[in-house]
């Protein structure tokens, strides 16, 4: 196995995620980490939560860390752009995030790809098709690039697309446009972290009252479809859009989720829909219009998307007769051992206000337990996700909004238990950030 330390530039971007950053550091500097001795530049976006002190602590123990603190919070996307354009001096660039996990078992494939001069290396396993390659590159750490790809035109595109969430898609667009070489790892090296809340990392810490409306109201789908302007060939754009799922069964189902999110969270902000609509071909536009009509003419209550507090969840659960739903689940799961999955405000609201005694709950699992080391959560046994398979249970009750996303993630990790959502209604349109 070769050593690519002198060829690979690593830059880690961070802002006010001290707990996540500490976990990421543990992966990077673990005994089995192949990059623990590589030179790593950290772009600290003027953090105020103790991240700076944590980085300085690591700097004192690892001489290969270079710590750069921005004079102000320039926004997540601008920090990504800075990492791609201003820092690289080596042949390859890999930008890491402060909330991802890493599995190094397939790292040898990366080293071989670098030695063979591959232009782009996808660090998560996916199918070798344009829709997957473009989609999987939305994760900042999802791709390692040859720095030669980032020429003047790509640099211009990187900066131009800062407002559209994905400036880092400019290099992969260059790869697709010019049919450069791509290598896809056989096993995920990067496991993406989940961003809390509905506001993306690109505006965290900013004074929203001073941002323009498009900047405040943009969300994942709007930024993604906008980024397709970087793809020059119309047929390739169509192929990428047709293959897009983003945790949905179909493109039409994704369009419905877009409509729900824009309607509830952004008051049907028209610019969002227009920005997506203009990137579609005629057939795709018909699906988009049909999805708009279905959601906006529907009498369904989608208000739960705006819920942010325990009191709001309590009111919502009261409206939809949550106790009756839980009792129905208990009858369905009679004699079954149940694991709760998710330790957020939904779980707290349920435990504090509803009777779960008819459910045979053996414990609760959540990624936070890996960071905090908690062994108990509100009277339930706290179980780390990595330890789930050590316990005997029959079903999983997911106490999170992102039911479909969590379900798919667990299934992809080999989980074959029956899964149910604690949210009785509307879970198929759960907001995806």
**217 is written with which tokens?**
């109201």
What is the pairing mode between strands 8-14 and 92-96?
Answer: parallel
Positive or negative: CA dihedral 259, 262, 267, 272: negative
Which position has the token pair 């995920």?
188
The predicted pLDDT at position 309 comes to 80
The predicted pLDDT at position 247 comes to 74
- One-character DSSP codes across 219-283: -HHHHHHHHGGG---HHHHHHHHHT--SSSSSHHHHHHHHHHHHHHHSTT-HHHHHHHHTTS-HH
The predicted pLDDT at position 200 comes to 55
Nearest to 379 by CA among 356, 399, 398: 356
Domains and CATH numbers, the chain: 8-191 (3.90.550.10), 207-298 (no CATH), 307-429 (3.40.50.720)
The predicted pLDDT at position 2 comes to 66
7-23 pLDDT, tens digit per residue, is 999 999 999 999 889 98
Nearest to 182 by CA among 139, 137, 152, 223: 137
The predicted pLDDT at position 374 comes to 83
Rounded Cα distance, 202 and 383, in Å:
32
The predicted pLDDT at position 405 comes to 77
Note the pTM of the prediction, 2 decimals: 0.80
245-257 pLDDT, tens digit per residue, is 887 889 999 999 8
**Residues in the chain with pLDDT values less than 70:** 1-2, 193-202, 304-305, 371-372, 425-433
The predicted pLDDT at position 110 comes to 97
């Amino acid at each position: 196995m070769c050593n690519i330390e002198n060829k690979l530039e690593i830059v880690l971007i961070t802002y006010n995620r001290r707990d996540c950053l500490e976990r990421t550091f543990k992966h990077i500097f673990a005994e089995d980490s192949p990059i623990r001795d590589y030179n790593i530049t950290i772009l600290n976006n003027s953090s105020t939560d103790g991240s700076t002190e944590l980085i300085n602590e690591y700097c004192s123990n690892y001489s290969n860390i270079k710590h750069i603190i921005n004079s102000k919070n320039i926004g997540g996307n601008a920090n990504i752009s800075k990492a791609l354009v201003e820092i690289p001096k080596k042949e390859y660039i890999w930008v890491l995030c402060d909330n991802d996990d890493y599995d190094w078992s397939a790292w040898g494939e990366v080293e071989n790809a670098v030695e063979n001069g591959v232009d782009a290396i996808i660090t998560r396993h996916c199918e070798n098709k344009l829709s997957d390659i473009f989609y999987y590159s939305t994760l900042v750490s999802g791709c390692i690039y040859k720095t030669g790809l980032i020429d003047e035109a790509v640099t211009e595109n990187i900066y131009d697309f800062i407002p559209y969430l994905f400036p880092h898609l400019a290099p992969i667009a260059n790869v697709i446009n010019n049919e450069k070489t791509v290598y896809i790892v056989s096993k995920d090296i990067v496991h993406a972290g989940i961003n809390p809340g509905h506001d993306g990392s690109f505006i965290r810490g900013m004074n929203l009252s001073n941002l323009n409306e498009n900047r405040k109201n943009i969300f994942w789908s709007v930024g993604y479809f906008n980024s397709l302007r970087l793809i020059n060939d119309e047929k390739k754009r169509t192929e990428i859009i047709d293959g897009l799922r983003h945790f949905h069964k179909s493109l039409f189902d994704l369009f419905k989720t877009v409509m729900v999110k824009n309607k509830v969270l952004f008051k049907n902000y028209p610019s969002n829909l227009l920005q997506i609509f203009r990137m579609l071909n005629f057939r795709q536009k018909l699906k988009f219009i049909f999805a708009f009509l279905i959601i906006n003419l529907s009498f369904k209550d989608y208000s739960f998307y705006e819920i942010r507090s325990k009191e709001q969840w309590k009111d919502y659960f009261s409206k939809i007769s949550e106790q009756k739903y839980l009792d129905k689940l208990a009858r369905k799961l009679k004699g079954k051992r149940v694991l709760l999955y998710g330790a957020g405000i939904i779980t707290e609201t349920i435990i504090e206000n509803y009777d779960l005694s008819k459910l045979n709950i053996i414990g609760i699992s959540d990624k936070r337990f890996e960071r905090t080391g908690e062994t108990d959560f509100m009277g339930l046994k706290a179980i780390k996700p990595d330890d789930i398979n050590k316990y005997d249970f029959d079903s999983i009750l997911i106490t999170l909004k992102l039911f479909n996303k969590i379900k798919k993630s667990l299934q992809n990790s080999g989980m074959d238990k029956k899964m149910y959502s604690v949210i009785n209604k509307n879970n198929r349109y759960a907001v995806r950030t």
